[in-house]
Amino acid sequence: MGGYKFEGRRGLDAPRLQEYTFYIAAKDNSGNYSESTKVTIQHPGISQLDLSETDLVGRFNSISITLPTPLSVRSQRVYLRGEPQNEDNPEEKDILGYRIYVWNLDEHGEESREYKLENAKIVDFDAEEIEEGEVLISVDSNTKYEIAVGCFDSVYHWNHNEDLYENTISDFVQITTASIEPIDISEALIKPNELTETLNTPEEGIKEKITLMAGNYEEGISGGLGLKYDEGEEGVDVQVVANRFRLFKEDDLEGTALFAVGEVDNEEQIYMEADKVAIRSEFNYDDFEDDDFLFELSNKGLQIDTPNLFLDKQGNAEFIDGEVKASNFIAGDKDVWDDSDGFDDTSGVAIGGNGTLDVGDGDNYLRLAEETFEIKSNNFSFISNNLEIDTEGITADEFSLNAETGKAEFSGSITVGDGALVMDDDGLRAYDPDDNKTVEVKTDDGEAYFNGYIEARGFELPIRSV
């Protein structure tokens, strides 16, 4: 009967029908069968997945999805006699995997649900490959998408029970991937105006050089502003020679300078005060393209767009073929991180200058330090070739150890203390330090040998001399 429990983790060879009926009878030693009992097992069903906006995070070239928990329509619990029953109480349902539907809203526009399910990009995930209930799908940046999620087991499967499977698919939820916004600088500041046109219109008698100077002739100190036509460059060269240069607003002379550069107390300093600071390369203000590179700092945040680094104003960052180097590095919530122990009550990664590595949080973590390797987890799993270690115990090709019951099974021999105790298919044997056999219990005929006394309380043995 256990093989027909609708767990969903038994592959495509598992039950595919919603209902199975068994006729069960007992058989005595004479080969006679009792009257059979009819038992019907019914699939509990899978409810429609509940996907919300908070389950989706739009990054630059990917979308992170926190997968909804699949719930049964009816309870699979076996109730004891006299216990109140509630078959309609939903429970978490074991499944084989998830199917993600990715609809590019910018490219294809709004369509009916049926059309989107038939034509959307589909990405499948095996349940055993999903970590922490999250998956990541690759998409384009600065694009609107609609995402829907379905789940399947051996019965509610898109390959052979499509109608049942479609009942699990969530509603489509819209998400926009992160992007670098065009620089938000006023055109009145950076666009040419009438004065610009006047200065750029040559007139008869125009001078090739104009200088405005100030200083002290006797002390040999001078500076000023100069404009000169450079015939070699075929352009006008403007230069300022000064120990300090400052720019003030005309209606705020008592405030600080908007821009200042110069030497103060033998120290070169540059100061800028602005609501927005922007630097751009290969940038077209009227037609912003993805290959335009920029740096912008404003009261809304900092954004950087280069071929190898993306940072938007919300703090989303992406490194392309780069490295992060630091004496001490922490990825996590800086407000609750405990610098003394590494972990407090938040998830993250900490790399210390002394070679320590902490990954996790206060309840679940991996810690590497000098002469220390420590793992703490409420749901730990280690899998390697023929060895698996998790909260249920240790399993390998040749042995298993159940953490709950303590039961251990070995298909090979067990040797303890350099051969002092041996257990194998022949039985159990013990040896003294001189390699003399002191105890032997055989498995084939049950004979036992003891080179010593047997002390016991509460049982009797037939005694015979040998």
Residue ranges covered by each domain of the chain: 1-179, 279-357
What is the pLDDT at residue 12?
Answer: 46
pLDDT per residue over 3-33, tens digit each? 445 554 544 456 788 888 888 889 888 888 8
Q: How far apart are CA 92 and CA 50, in angstroms?
A: 13
Which tokens go with 235? 């352009």
Q: Which CATH architecture has domain 1-179?
A: Sandwich (2.60)
Q: Could you tell me the maximum CA-CA distance found in the chain, to the nearest angstrom?
A: 139
User: What average pLDDT does this structure show over 423-446?
Assistant: 83
Nearest to 214 by CA among 204, 226, 202, 229: 226
User: What average pLDDT does this structure show over 289-314?
Assistant: 72
Check if the beta carbon of residue 164 is closer than 8 Å to that of residue 86.
no
Check if the beta carbon of residue 152 is closer than 8 Å to that of residue 95.
yes
pTM for this model (two decimals):
0.45
Q: Where are the beta strands (DSSP E) in 53-182?
A: 56-58, 62-66, 97-104, 121-126, 134-138, 144-152, 173-176
Q: Please tell me which residue, 50 or 301, carries the higher pLDDT value.
A: 50
User: What average pLDDT does this structure show over 75-83?
Assistant: 62
Phi, psi of 41 (to 5 degrees): -110, 130
| Res 345 pLDDT > 50 | no
Task: Determine the Cα angle at 60 with ends 58 and 65, to 5°.
Answer: 30
How sure is the predictor about 55, in pLDDT bands with cuts at 50, 70 and 90?
very high
User: What average pLDDT does this structure show over 145-161?
Assistant: 92
| Res 351 pLDDT > 70 | no
| Res 338 pLDDT > 50 | no
Q: Please tell me which residue, 397 or 265, carries the higher pLDDT value.
A: 265
How sure is the predictor about 408, in pLDDT bands with cuts at 50, 70 and 90?
confident
User: What average pLDDT does this structure show over 235-243?
Assistant: 89
Q: Which helix (H) or strand (E) holds 108?
A: helix 105-108
User: What average pLDDT does this structure show over 372-394?
Assistant: 72
Cα 298 to its chain centre, rounded Å, is 30
- Please give the mean pLDDT across all residues of the chain: 78
Amino acid code (one letter) for 99 = R
| Res 401 pLDDT > 70 | yes
How sure is the predictor about 68, in pLDDT bands with cuts at 50, 70 and 90?
very high
User: What average pLDDT does this structure show over 353-366?
Assistant: 64
How many Cα neighbours within 13 Å face the side chain of 450?
A: 4
Q: Please tell me which residue, 51 or 253, carries the higher pLDDT value.
A: 51
| Res 34 pLDDT > 60 | yes
Weakest mean pLDDT among 402-406, 415-419, 451-455 = 415-419
User: What average pLDDT does this structure show over 397-415?
Assistant: 76
pLDDT per residue over 273-288, tens digit each? 888 787 776 545 444 4
> Which of 11-15, 82-86, 415-419, 426-430 tops mean pLDDT?
426-430
| Res 344 pLDDT > 50 | no
What is the pLDDT at residue 317?
Answer: 76
How sure is the predictor about 265, in pLDDT bands with cuts at 50, 70 and 90?
confident
